[in-house]
Each structure stands twice: as structure tokens, then as C-alpha cells.
Chains A and B, each alone.
Chain A
Amino acid sequence: MVPPVTRDAELINDLYNVILIFAVVVFVLVEGLLIYSVVKFRRRSADEMPQQIHGSRTLELAWTIIPAIVIAVIFGLAVDTMGRMTARGTLSNPVAHVHAINDVAARQRVERAQPVDLVIEVTGRQWVWQYKYPGGDGVTTSEELIVPANKNIRLDMTAADVIHAWWMPELGPMIYVNPGEMSYVWFNVPPGDYIGQCNVYCGVAHARMISKVKALPQAEYDEWYAQQAAASSAPTRPGDPKAGKNIFMNGACIACHYIEGTKAQGKVAPRDLTNFATYPTIAQLDGFENNAENLVKWLRDPQAVKPGTAMPNLNLKAQEIEDLVAYLLTLK
């Protein structure tokens, strides 16, 4: 296993090592008996007739009862480990599920479960993890989660589309992140970079849904956070989504594009724009990430970005482009 860095991961690792000893013993026993029989009891002559033994009650009882005891011991060890993983809080598991996002009572149980220094909201979507920091500074990150080291962190996770799973082998237990539900994970790690991956198949780019955690010493973290907060409170782009919608619905866009519940019912463009803002890329173009800058480039001259695309250059004005960008990014 990868070297554990949290107490939960350590507990899992210890359990694994103990069970591995049982496993090796059983393996050696069975393979040993097998090899011994194969070597010892080969047929010597064509008419050799071994003793016809039909069974033995004692032996059979022995190899029912002894494995049953071994199994009971392993079961006990596993339950014990689960108990210890819980001992930190009142929750039954260091990872937890709540089956409805609005289940207040369950949510309170989670809140009481462990002392927590920082809570981060996580959304898993095809194919990226997005992190939202508390405090109303609008700090968000995607792909990399940056946390203060040696602090109790709780992740409040849900999925925007399909099931994903949070798996960071060094940090402890894995958990599914289901749409319409909440999953919680607690961890506390020394400074360092940790890497893991989405662990439920979630579509084309599932292999690229990497999760990274970067734990910084408190001072560095504070510095990083201040920077982010300043950046996000800086004036946003100049576009007006209402004006953008207007341009979209009264311009050439609707001839080709489809947006549910609007008069844009075109079917020429391959992708429906209803949830455009959730798409990872623009025009299904590898590496052309869906963000405001790229969207500006695209609207200014689609042919330059994706030669041969069916979308023509609409000769939009700069302000029109900004408004359209603002509108398109509201389509979630």
C-alpha cells in the first residue's frame, strides 16, 4: 500500500498487514499441500489402485471449524478497526453519507461529529473536482485542493451529474460522491502533496479526473488564501447576462443552437447548450477549457479556434461578446 499519512489510513494499513499474514499462511498451506500431493502421489503403474477413502468426519469437521475461527478473528479485527476509526467522533464512520441534501438532522449529526477547523464544499462533476472555500470571499479552486496542514479538514461533497468517488490512498477511506446526496470526509495531514483519482467510472475522461491535495503550513496557506480572496473580489468581467440572453435569442445563434425552455430550438450544433457552463471544454475541443477567456476567443472567431467547424464568424462586437459570455456561463 502507499505509505499512510493519516491515522485512518494507518489503521487501514495495519489491518491490511495483519490480514496479509493470515492470507500468506493459508496460501502457503494450500499450495504446499497441493504441490506435495502432486509430487508424492503420481501414478506409478497403470493398474495401481489406491485405497478407496470416502471421507473422514474428524478431518472434515477440522477444516470447517478452523477456517471458521480464522474468519471470525478476521471479522473481529475488521470490526475493531472500524471502531477505532470512529473513536474520534460520534459518527459511525470517518466517511459518512447523508441521503438527502436537505436532511437537517443528519447534517447536524455530521456537524457534531468531529471538531473541525475548516469545511470545504466539494462538487464532483464530469471530470473535475471543484472546491469552494467558506467565508464569503468567493474563493474557489478546481483540480487542486489547498488546505492548511495539521488542521482538521472536513469536505462536504456532492456530485453535479453522475456518481464519482473520492479516493486519496494516502489519506484514508474512499467514499462515493452521489448526485442528490451528501458525503463527508475528515482528514488532517502534514504538509505535502497528495494525489488520488476519481474511483467510480464516470465517462470519457474518467481517467483524467485526478484529485490533488496540497497541504501548506498555516502561514503559507494564509498567504495563498489572501491572494485568492483579493483576486476573486476584483471586478468581474464586464458582461451582462440579461443583455447576452437578448442577443442570443434575437440573433443568429438560435438558428443552430438548442437551449431547453427557450426559443433556441436549433439542432445544427451537435451539443445542446442547456447546461453549457458545466461542459469541461468548448466545442468538444481537447485542451480548450471552458472558461471566459477561451469563450471570448471562440466567439470572436470560431474558425480560427477550430478550423472547419460549422459555426461561422458572426462578427460580434466586443461588448456583445462579453454579454454573451456572461449569459452562457449562467447555463448550468
Chain B
Amino acid sequence: MASISIPIPLRERAKSGVLGWLATVDHKKIGIMYMVMSFAFFIAAGLMALLIRLQLAAPNLQVVDPNTYNQLFTMHGSVMIFLFTIPMLVGGFGNYFVPLMIGARDVAFPRLNAFSFWITLGAGLVMLIGFLFGARSDAAWTAYVPYSTKSFSPTVGMDIWLMGVILLGIGSTLGAVNFLVTVYSMRAPGMTAWRIPMFVWAMATTAGMVLLATPVLTAALLMLVADRNFNTQFFTTNRVQLWQHMFWFYSHPAVYIMILPAMGIISEVIPVFSRKPLFGLRAVVISTVLIGLLGFTTWVHHMFVSGVDPAIERFFMFTTMVIAVPTGVKVFNWLATLWGGSLNFKTPLLMCLGFLATFVIGGISGVMQGAIPIDQYVHNSYFVVAHFHYVLFGGSVFGIFAALYYWGPKITGRMFDEKLGKLHFWLMMIGFNVTFFPMHFLGLQGMPRRIATYDPGRGWELGNLIATIGAFLLAFSVLIFIINAIKLRHGEPAGNDPWEGNTLEWSTASPPPEYNFREIPTVESDRPLFDERMRMPQL
């Protein structure tokens, strides 16, 4: 790996201390702020989930009243998606690692980047403070009209929720522009398309999706705000499907916005801990882009029972099922990467295996629901709740933890405690499945989602009790992660490259200096550091 010297840009030296953080435009500091922020939101939304599960542990419980319950699941879903998963993956890992992995000194527009962060944090705080002070929305994270219009949700909580999501959309749209320009124009010399790391490919695809999808959601939200406050009639006179089309045009791709970066992470971690190249790199890249494109052709599967023309429904049933093919390709490529490898079972790899084992279940139940007659049975039932948690928790959250354990040492310069990491993994894996697997059966037994309670005698008692126990186990496992993170201060020094990584971020110090690389590296393959190690004389 040859290196070339590009002068470090002239910018006033970074301030230190609190002001240093508040005023920073360094993509790494911004990345860290995103991670800390989203993790805090994860804890908040997790606590809400525990309350939800407590209420449902047995029939006719009144842990919270029905109003509060409805506000809780609304906020749980909104926070998990808008304030945790997307900001963590895109804002956190994307910001921190995309420039490092492509050998750049920062993102293309550092100040815009800082602006995106602050607007996201502001929006999150607005939503959460509104929630804490009783200005709560209860229209679910999907905010279907007419329920979310002034006639049925007259409270200011609904307006606060709308404003929050609009601001978040602005933040993430700006962030997406930044990523696309960065990846397009700031790659290190020699980093041709097929040498771009998988995570970066995933982030670029994700950014493209954000750019296409978010404005539609923002438009829908603004229309609803206008309906509510300025007497326009976008959703009051039109058929109720208009909102659903606009909402799902964003929110179905949003699922891939949450899963593609996690898939990118998996594609980075598995090769490193198997000591093998990613099997079929090109196929994985192509499937990433394909999923990105196909992700825009499936939104109507959320509306199979809401009154869309049957011919259109069939088309969307087809596209919904087709998307399983590139996804399957990825899964088999990962398995083939493991196959014949030299597997080193450190926590990051365990998290990837957890991802694989559980994501597959979410994928399978996805194809099942894709069949319209099945959807006519399970739509909006707990089967769906199980399905999307297998995708979002089993996929995205396992991916996020894989990344935290994998890149944590790079960010902090310290190693996590492996024992605690493994304990965290196993408890999470067990807790997760105990929580969500029974929900498949609950759905099939006729339990709808978003119900504050239920009567005994419908056969739902046992499944709900088990799920609640699982949720507490799950929460406990996250507690162990937090302890591990606190202990990180005293962890062993990590060195530049503790895992024998393949990509450029491992060639610089841990934590990386302000401008990432003393000298910009030149790239000659898709695994620059692997080549470097192979050339080194064996010690």
C-alpha cells in the first residue's frame, strides 16, 4: 500500500472540551455524537417496550391506562425507527467510517454534516420532551389518516410528532447528499468501484434511497400539517389510501435503509473473522444495489387489505417476492464466506452469526406474508410484529452491535471485555427469540397488534407471558453491554489493527487523528490491509 501526501486542509485547530464537541465539524466527532444520541434513544424506546410487554403479560392488566399504552407504542415505534436505527447506522457508523474506509480526510460538506446532526438531535428532543410533558401523539408510527387528522387527534402532541418527523427528514436528506458526494468524489487513489468496501457500497445505496424516499414522506407530513392547521383538504376529501401510498413509499424503503447498512457491516466483519475474502464480492454489491432499487417497488404490500385494485396488488405481490432473491444471494454468500474459513469467535463475529440466524426467519416470514391470501389473514396481527422485529432487531440491531464491538476499539482505542461481550450476545440471542418467536403463534391465533389489553380465553395467555419474560432478558443483556461500555475506559489498548482488518480505517491510529491519515493511502485491491500484511515479513 503506497501512500501519497495530500496537505492537511487549513482549518483552525480543533477546540477541545465541551465547546470542541459543540462546534465540531469533524466527521468522527459527529459520528460519535450520533451514536451516543441514538443509543440514548434506544434505551428510552426499550423502556417503553418493557412497559408495553408488562401490560400484555397477562389478560386485562392495567399497568398503564389505554391512552398511555397507545402513546407508548406510538413512541416506541417512532423512536426506534426515526431516532435510533436510522441515525445510528447512517449518522453514526456512516459518518465515522465512510470517510475512513475510502481514505478521505472528512466528508464533502463538514459544516452541512454538523447541521444535519444538530437538526436531528433537535427534532428528537422536541419529540421526546413533548412526550414527557404530556403532548403525546397516539396515532401509531404510521399515523394513518383520518385518525391523525384534527377531528380524531385534536391534540398538539400530534403536531409535535409531525414537526419532529419533518425535521428528521430534513436532517437525513441533507446527510444523504453529503454521503453521495463524499463517496463519489473523495475516494483514495486506486479505489475503483469494485474496490469500494461493502459497507461503503451499502451506505451509498442507502443514501440514494433516502434521497428518493424521504421527500415523499416530508411532503405527506407537510400536507397533513396543513390539513390540521390551515384547513386544506388533502386527506379529508381524498380517499384514505392517499396517505398510505405516500407513507409507505417512504416507509417501505426505510426498512431497507435500516437493513442495508447492517448488511454492509456483516459483509465487513465476516471476512475479517474468517480470514477469507467476501465470497462473490460483485454479486454482493449488485444485490445491494438491486435491493435498493427493488425496495421502491413493494410498498403496496402494506395495503393488500386496504382496498387497492386487485390487479395492482398482484403486481406488488410479485415484486415483493422477487426482492427475496437478491437477499437470499447475500445470505448464501455470507455462508460461503464462513465455509472453509478460519473462524475466530470474537463478539463481533457472534453478533454476525446472530444476525444471520435470526434475519433468515424474518425473511422467510416476509415471503409468507407477501402471498396476498396469507396477508389477508395475518395483516396487522402479532405475526407481523414478530416478522418486523426479526428483521429490525434480529437484523439491524444485531448488525449495530456487531459494528459497536468491531469498531469500538477503533473509535476508543480500547478493547471491550470479551467475556462480557459473549455473555451479552448469548443473553440477547436467547432473550430475543424468547420474546419474538411466540408472537408468530399469537398472530396466527388471532391476536391483533396495537391492542392495549385482551380478554382471557382466546389462547393468548401463554405466548404473551413468555414474550414478556423474554423482553426482560433482552433488556438485561443490553444492561450488560452498557456495563461493558463503561468498563471500556480501563480496557486494554487496542492498537491500530486489533482484528487484522482488511479496510483502510485499520491503517490509521486508534482513535484516528483529526485528519484521519497522515498520508492518503493508495489502494490496489479490495483488501488493501490484507495485502499489506501478506507482504510483511513474517515475524
The distance from the CB of B342 to the nearest CB of chain A, in whole angstroms, is 4
Check B300 for interface membership: any CB of A closer than 8 A: no
**A-B complex: 8 closest residue pairs judged by Cβ atoms:** A97-B307, A207-B451, A173-B376, A78-B371, A55-B280, A63-B332, A201-B450, A37-B338
Known A180-B240, A181-B307: A206·B452 in contact at CB below 8 Å: yes
Q: List 18 A-B contacts (CB under 8 A).
A: A1-B444, A9-B377, A12-B377, A15-B371, A31-B357, A48-B275, A50-B275, A50-B341, A54-B277, A54-B280, A64-B283, A67-B329, A92-B311, A163-B144, A167-B446, A180-B239, A197-B451, A202-B147
Q: Which residue of A lies closest to B329 (CB)?
A: A64
**A64-B328, A174-B379 provided; 9 other pairs, C-beta below 8 A?**
A2-B446, A34-B357, A41-B274, A52-B277, A54-B280, A71-B367, A85-B373, A176-B305, A207-B451
Q: Which of A19-27, A261-269, A312-320 lies on the face that meets chain B?
A: A19-27
Check A241 for interface membership: any CB of B closer than 8 A: no
Check A297 for interface membership: any CB of B closer than 8 A: no
Contact B144 A34 (CB under 8 A): no
Interface size class of B (residues with CB under 8 A): 35 or more
How many A-B contacts at CB < 8 Å in the complex?
244
The distance from the CB of B498 to the nearest CB of chain A, in whole angstroms, is 13
**Which of A11, A19, A196 touches B368 (beta carbons < 8 Å)?**
A19
Check B353 for interface membership: any CB of A closer than 8 A: yes
The residues of A that contact B379 with a CB separation of less than 8 Å are 165, 174, 199
The residues of B that contact A205 with a CB separation of less than 8 Å are 66
* Distance of A207 Cα from B147 Cα, bound (Å): 15
The residues of A that contact B279 with a CB separation of less than 8 Å are 53-56
Contact with A along B354-373 (1 / 0, CB 8 A): 00110011001101101111
**Which of A19, A176, A195, A207 touches B307 (beta carbons < 8 Å)?**
A176
The distance from the CB of B25 to the nearest CB of chain A, in whole angstroms, is 39
Q: Which of B126-134, B174-182, B314-322 lies on the face that meets chain A?
A: B314-322
Check A38 for interface membership: any CB of B closer than 8 A: yes
Check B445 for interface membership: any CB of A closer than 8 A: yes
Check B216 for interface membership: any CB of A closer than 8 A: no
Known A41-B342, A71-B322: A82·B373 in contact at CB below 8 Å: yes
Give chain B interface residues in 312-356, CB to chain A under 8 Å.
314, 317-318, 321-322, 324-325, 328-329, 331-333, 335-336, 338-345, 353, 356
Task: Tell me whether chain A's interface is mostly helix, strand or loop, or mixed.
Answer: mixed
Contact A196 B446 (CB under 8 A): yes
**Which of B151, B274, B317 touches A78 (beta carbons < 8 Å)?**
B317
Give chain A interface residues in 39-75, CB to chain B under 8 Å.
41-44, 48-56, 59-60, 63-64, 67-68, 71, 74-75
Instruction: Indicate the member of A31, A37, A181 with the most B CB atoms within 10 Å.
Output: A37
Contact B360 A1 (CB under 8 A): no
Contact A82 B372 (CB under 8 A): yes
Contact B356 A34 (CB under 8 A): yes
**Which of A26, A30, A196, A204 touches B66 (beta carbons < 8 Å)?**
A204
Q: Which residue of B lies closest to A80 (CB)?
A: B373
Interface residues of B (CB under 8 A from A): 66-67, 70, 138-140, 144, 146-147, 151-152, 239-241, 274-277, 279-283, 305-307, 310-311, 314, 317-318, 321-322, 324-325, 328-329, 331-333, 335-336, 338-345, 353, 356-357, 360-361, 364-365, 367-368, 370-374, 376-377, 379-381, 444-446, 448-454, 458
The residues of A that contact B329 with a CB separation of less than 8 Å are 60, 63-64, 67
Check A124 for interface membership: any CB of B closer than 8 A: no
The distance from the CB of A126 to the nearest CB of chain B, in whole angstroms, is 8
Q: Which residue of A lies closest to B375 (CB)?
A: A174
The residues of B that contact A68 with a CB separation of less than 8 Å are 325
Contact with B along A5-23 (1 / 0, CB 8 A): 0000101100110011001
Q: Which residue of A lies closest to B445 (CB)?
A: A2
Q: Which residue of B lies closest to A33 (CB)?
A: B335
Q: Which residue of A lies closest to B142 (CB)?
A: A201
Contact A199 B448 (CB under 8 A): yes
**Which of A38, A41, A163 touches B147 (beta carbons < 8 Å)?**
A163
**Which of A16, A42, A67 touches B374 (beta carbons < 8 Å)?**
A16
Check A244 for interface membership: any CB of B closer than 8 A: no
* Distance of A24 Cα from B333 Cα, bound (Å): 20
Known A23-B364, A183-B307: A207·B343 in contact at CB below 8 Å: no
Contact B342 A43 (CB under 8 A): yes
The distance from the CB of B422 to the nearest CB of chain A, in whole angstroms, is 14
The residues of B that contact A43 with a CB separation of less than 8 Å are 275, 342-345
**Which of B283, B373, B380 touches A15 (beta carbons < 8 Å)?**
B373
The residues of A that contact B340 with a CB separation of less than 8 Å are 41, 50-51, 53
Contact A165 B146 (CB under 8 A): no
The distance from the CB of B464 to the nearest CB of chain A, in whole angstroms, is 13
The residues of A that contact B338 with a CB separation of less than 8 Å are 34, 37-38, 41
Contact B445 A178 (CB under 8 A): no
